[in-house]
Amino acid sequence: MDNLVRLLELAYASGCAHATDIMRFGFEREVQEERSWFSYLYGWCIHVADQVAYLDGIIQELEFCYNHMSEVQILMEFENGDGIVLLDSIMYFHTIREFQTQKLTNLRIFLEVSAMRLEECMLFVSRFNGM
């Protein structure tokens, strides 16, 4: 029933009862949906890449502090266990960074597949536009 309703909706929206017009209109809608999904994924990739860069900065600062404890102690007071806490923090942020990097890799693969799907939809629209 859902497919029938969608077909009737497409027929009404296209303003024509010809099957090719209805199919072309359906593929045009599919292209619009795929473009919006692709845009969303691309924005998400940028967001995760920014998070990875931010985590890189935090890790560099923490590693600098850990590697130069004597200089850092001049600026702030350290207690006995602070070195271990600093090392734990570095490992924690490394773990988060690895997770975000893997997420970014997966998102990029998904983005690539979505681009192929978008091309496929656009190919079908161009076929129906040629009719």
Angstrom distance (rounded) from CA 49 to CA 27? 32
- Mapped onto helix, strand or coil, the DSSP state of residue 77 is coil
pLDDT in tens, 61-100: 888 877 877 665 555 566 666 667 778 888 999 999 999 9
Q: Which residue matches tokens 């990875």?
A: 52
Contact between 111 and 35 under an 8 Å Cβ cutoff? The reply is no
Query: Quick one: DSSP state of residue 131?
Result: -
More confident residue, 109 or 82: 109
Domain ranges in the chain are: 39-129
The pLDDT of residue 53 is above 70: yes
Round the average pLDDT of the chain to a whole number and report it: 81
Vertex 18, ends 15 and 5: CA angle to 5°? 65
pLDDT band at 1 (very low <50, low <70, confident <90, very high): very low
